[in-house]
Chain A
Amino acid sequence: MSLMSWGMYPKIKNTVFKFDKKKTLRKIINEHDKLIPYGNGRSYGDSALSSNIIHARPKDCFIDFNGETGLLHVQTGVLLSEILESFVPRGWFLKVTPGTKLITVGGAIASDIHGKNHHVEGCFSECIKEFKIMLADGEVVICSKEATPELFKATCGGQGLTGIILDAKIYLKKINSQYIDQTTIKTKNLKETFEAFEEYQDKPYSVAWIDCLAKGSKIGKCLLMVGDFRDDGKLDYKVKKQKSIPFNFPSFALNNWSVRVFNWLYYGKVKQSISKQTVDIDTFFYPLDTIGHWNRIYGKNGFTQYQFILPKESSYEGLEEILTAISKSGKGSFLAVLKLYGKANDNYLSFPMEGYSLALDFKIEKGLFNLLDKLDEIVVKYKGRIYLAKDARVSKEVFEKGYPQIETFRQYRKENKMDNKFQSLQSKRVGI
């Protein structure tokens, strides 16, 4: 059985290794090259694909929890959803969570993931006390920002290219409700969208859904959703039953028109320019997780997510240009997610920087990569970068321009003999 990523593109044959004890893992590392760790298969592109895969998801034990400090010790394969299931009822939540809870803790570290509160709490690496990692020579190191800063900066966001994370100690945050007071702001164009983001910057959570097919003066119209946890003591968090897409949709199911209708409905159902709702954790943070295998709606050829970020000063111009290009191409995307980020951290390959990021899904079809290459040019022109956890196609040149610390990362891998041992299709393509 070969493992795929969430985008179901590309598809390659791979050998999957599982390990129970450290000894087994050490043997695998000693005997094989081109290894890459794989968690729950939720990165979109080829960052966790290689001919040799180490499957870390089965390592899913909770080890310890300190109810005073909120420090949770878990193995690498534990899902964020499992943490929520156990700890939301006890009044704890993740400090940083992405838009899906179906990722492993190891994966969260490797992609240094971020969420709706990036402008306040930063990336996942901010909540890590330390983690254990097995390196290319089979040695196990306890890694923290203070004790092993280089390894920490290379591993957080390093896409699994420094070793196999075994377990991690992360801080949770206290909450007193599983409900969020949400405000939805409906904007008419990009200018209003930017103004709304600035105006609501003190809200801890914010994200916007953009209609990418809007044209002319309506470009950049969005629904901005901001919110914060309530304080009502209601912690009766129950995991909802998942509905699942049972098979791949035919690839024509998603086209310009069906997406247009979806966006029209989605945008149109909000009547007022500002409205307030109370929603639960799963609705607010993980709207798509309630539909299992939603990746199948793009058909068997798969899809890719294009996520880029532009520095704040060039964001407006850049986004205008990119949205115009997408709108002209007519290639639709259900999910265009816009967000204003906080400051960048020191990790070599972490994605976030201060500015606006846009993420769009595209099904794989003829002409798509030409469009994305064009978008790349605009991203480079405005000094932006592409998110590796989503990517399956970016060129080495475009990638390098976005990540000024790439040489440090390469050097670090070489010095520690990680470059042959740990590889993915992506690392080969972009030369890391």
Chain B
Amino acid sequence: MSYILIIGAKSDIAKATAREYAKNGYNLYLAARNSNELQEFADDITVRTQRTVNLVELDILDYKSHQEFYNKLDEKPLGVISAIGYLGEQEKAQADFTEAKQIMDTNYTGVVSLFNIIANDFEKRKSGFIVGISSVAGDRGRKSNYIYGSAKAALTAYLSGLRNRLYDAQVHVMTVKPGFVATKMTEGMDLPEKLTAQPEEVAKDIYKAQQKGKNVLYTKWMWRWVMKVITMIPEWKFKRMSI
């Protein structure tokens, strides 16, 4: 079995990760909405690496379709990587619950719905790995993006529990917490160069850490320490800050 399933495959991190796994010899299922738009990218990987790339249709918010989605994969994947992420607009989400719900459902509920199905299968097979891309934004809520942050915090807790549950079944679960990454999601933001990763660096980090069986990956690495400092700031101080 040599397929990796990547969900949310249109994101820049997903694409870089897909190239990284293909380069290292894996075939791919790339799952996204309107997945046919990924055809050019799929051809790219095939020409580069001579791996097989299958595009599969997935709507992460259509929870009912998830079981069938997974059943339809001919060869079950060796591992799954979720790069699903929707930053949304914080201010809009404060005023309009539809936006808030969209952020929560995309980043958390949808991923849980699909990961539950996959986790059950992996547990039965006693093999496989699950990688969830969460965010450093989930380590502490800040006024600039706490709806997104809270959804990612939920995902981080979910992945931690899942890791605990699947340990006995030898299924490895890894939580990825990227800091700033130069992607479509952050385009136009003024990000500090030293703390900002390129998607290719994130992909390399994910591949290496997953192969090594790491539990929680911060990428770039210094984010582990940046977040340690941020979470240590006492609440009376933190609530007055703008970071």
**Is B49 in the interface zone, CB < 8 Å from A?**
yes
**Is B228 in the interface zone, CB < 8 Å from A?**
no
**Is A284 in the interface zone, CB < 8 Å from B?**
no
State which of A62-70, A115-123, A218-226, A342-350 sits at the interface with chain B: A62-70
For the complex, give the distance between the alpha carbons of A86 and B49 in Å.
6
Q: Would you call B49 and A61 a contact (CB within 8 A)?
A: no
Q: Would you call A64 and B47 a contact (CB within 8 A)?
A: yes
Q: Can you name the residue of chain A whose Cβ is closest to the Cβ of B182?
A: A1
**Is A321 in the interface zone, CB < 8 Å from B?**
no
For the complex, give the distance between the alpha carbons of A62 and B44 in Å.
4
Q: Mark B109-123, 1 if CB is under 8 A from A, else 0.
A: 000000000000000
Q: Can you name the residue of chain A whose Cβ is closest to the Cβ of B23?
A: A85
What is the CB-to-nearest-CB distance from A54 to chain B, in angstroms, rounded to a whole number? 16
For the complex, give the distance between the alpha carbons of A61 and B44 in Å.
5
Q: Count of B residues near A, CB < 8 Å? A: 8
Across the interface, which residues of B come within 8 angstroms of A64, CB to CB? 43, 47
From B41, B43, B47, name the one whose CB has the most chain A CB atoms within 10 angstroms.
Answer: B47
Q: Which residues of B4-48 have CB atoms within 8 Å of chain A's CB atoms?
A: 23, 40-41, 43-44, 47-48
For the complex, give the distance between the alpha carbons of A86 and B50 in Å.
9
For the complex, give the distance between the alpha carbons of A61 and B43 in Å.
8
What is the CB-to-nearest-CB distance from A235 to chain B, in angstroms, rounded to a whole number? 14
For the complex, give the distance between the alpha carbons of A85 and B41 in Å.
18
Q: Would you call B48 and A63 a contact (CB within 8 A)?
A: no
**Is A82 in the interface zone, CB < 8 Å from B?**
yes
For the complex, give the distance between the alpha carbons of A64 and B48 in Å.
9
Across the interface, which residues of A come within 8 angstroms of B49, CB to CB? 86
Q: Would you call A86 and B43 a contact (CB within 8 A)?
A: no
What is the CB-to-nearest-CB distance from A27 to chain B, in angstroms, rounded to a whole number? 18
What is the CB-to-nearest-CB distance from B162 to chain A, in angstroms, rounded to a whole number? 33
Across the interface, which residues of B come within 8 angstroms of A63, CB to CB? 40, 43-44, 47
For the complex, give the distance between the alpha carbons of A385 and B203 in Å.
44
What is the CB-to-nearest-CB distance from A57 to chain B, in angstroms, rounded to a whole number? 11
Across the interface, which residues of A come within 8 angstroms of B41, CB to CB? 61
Across the interface, which residues of A come within 8 angstroms of B43, CB to CB? 61-64
From B41, B43, B44, name the one whose CB has the most chain A CB atoms within 10 angstroms.
Answer: B44
Q: Would you call A86 and B48 a contact (CB within 8 A)?
A: yes
Q: Which residues of A63-88 have CB atoms within 8 Å of chain B's CB atoms?
A: 63-65, 82, 85-86
Q: Provide 21 A-B residue pairs closer than 8 Å at the C-beta atoms, listed in order of the A residue.
A: A60-B44, A61-B40, A61-B41, A61-B43, A61-B44, A62-B43, A62-B44, A62-B47, A62-B48, A63-B40, A63-B43, A63-B44, A63-B47, A64-B43, A64-B47, A65-B47, A82-B48, A85-B23, A86-B47, A86-B48, A86-B49
